[in-house]
């Protein structure tokens, strides 16, 4: 998010009807996409926090044909970049089989990290940006790259607060989530483990557990 968060009424993502390609559907499931093609999904994401670092949240809108689903979540202390990344991770994690996804984000950090190959290059170097510095937010980049290996994803940058209704909706979802009560901890950030390679034995999520406790 690029502007101070506006106040927004908390949404109820669970009330939205999920597209057939998404998990935890509220409508009867359709048959899986035929083997000769993948279901197409359009995804909008946004994330940010108050203060950077500070209380943060993410918002997601997934659209598949006539169906849509919204996701959001908040954390008590995190950063803008982590919430932008987590929005993408949560969006792609909601797809229950391999899809062709067009993911639209107003974060150049996220879009360039994937489309310009930065994240894959960091991973190939043991998560080092250069000879001396580790990449930041390794925990989330690792999850995002794994999901991109499952799905056919194209990342597209959209200008924030430029009138795109779905981007604006994600912004409101993220703002409402960051202002919620009983926010969860962003454990890797609060324990200073955002630069820990995922192969480390004590890395959260390495055994399939939720990365946020």
Residue in 126, 149, 161, 199 annotated catalytic: 161
pLDDT for 160 equals: 86
Containing structural domain, residue 111 = 13-27+35-190
Residue in 47, 48, 59, 160 annotated catalytic: 47
Question: Residue 109 domain-assigned?
Answer: yes
pLDDT for 204 equals: 36
Question: Residue 5 domain-assigned?
Answer: no
Question: Residue 8 domain-assigned?
Answer: no
Residues 111 and 165: their CA atoms lie apart, in Å, by: 20
| Catalytic residue check, 84 | yes
Residue in 18, 46, 59, 160 annotated catalytic: 46
Q: Are 131 and 185 in contact (CB under 8 A)?
A: no
Question: Residue 67 domain-assigned?
Answer: yes
| Catalytic residue check, 160 | no
> Helix 108-115 to helix 138-150 angle, to the nearest 10 degrees?
50
Q: Which residues of 92-111 are buried (b: 16+ CB within 10 A; e: fewer)?
A: bbbbbeebebebbbbbeebb
> How many structural domains are present in the chain?
1
| Catalytic residue check, 47 | yes
| CATH number of the CATH domain containing 55 | 3.30.420.10
Question: Residue 209 domain-assigned?
Answer: no
| Catalytic residue check, 56 | no
Is this structure's pTM higher than 0.75? yes
Residue in 70, 84, 166, 186 annotated catalytic: 84
pLDDT for 162 equals: 87
Q: Are 128 and 195 in contact (CB under 8 A)?
A: no
pLDDT by residue for the chain (213 residues), tens digit each? 544 444 444 444 333 333 345 543 333 334 444 434 789 999 999 999 999 999 999 999 999 999 999 999 999 999 999 999 999 999 999 999 999 999 999 999 999 999 999 999 999 999 999 999 999 999 999 999 999 999 999 999 999 888 899 999 999 999 999 999 999 999 999 999 999 877 543 333 333 332 222
Question: Residue 71 domain-assigned?
Answer: yes
Residue in 70, 90, 106, 186 annotated catalytic: 106
Question: Residue 164 domain-assigned?
Answer: yes
Question: Residue 96 domain-assigned?
Answer: yes
Is 193 strand, coil or helix? coil
Residue in 70, 90, 139, 171 annotated catalytic: 171
pLDDT for 141 equals: 97
């Amino acid at each position: 998010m690029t502007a101070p968060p506006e106040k927004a009424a908390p949404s109820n993502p669970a009330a939205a009807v999920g597209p057939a390609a998404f998990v935890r559907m509220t409508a009867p499931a359709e048959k899986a996409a035929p083997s000769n093609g993948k279901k197409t999904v359009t995804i909008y994401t946004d994330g940010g926090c108050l203060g950077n670092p500070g209380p943060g949240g993410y918002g997601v809108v997934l659209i598949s044909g006539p169906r849509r689903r919204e996701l959001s979540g908040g954390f008590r202390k995190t950063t803008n970049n982590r919430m932008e990344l987590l929005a993408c991770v949560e969006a792609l994690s909601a797809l229950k089989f391999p899809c062709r996804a067009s993911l639209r984000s107003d974060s150049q950090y996220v879009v360039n990290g994937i489309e310009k190959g930065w994240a894959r290059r960091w991973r190939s170097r043991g998560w080092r940006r250069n000879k001396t510095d580790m990449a930041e937010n390794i925990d989330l980049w690792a999850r995002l790259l794994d999901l991109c290996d499952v799905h056919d994803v194209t990342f597209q940058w959209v200008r924030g607060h430029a009138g795109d209704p779905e981007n604006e909706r994600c912004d409101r979802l993220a703002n409402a989530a960051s202002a919620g009560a009983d926010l969860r901890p962003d454990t890797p950030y609060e324990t200073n483990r955002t630069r820990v390679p995922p192969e480390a034995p004590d890395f959260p999520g390495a055994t399939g557990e939720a990365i946020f406790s």
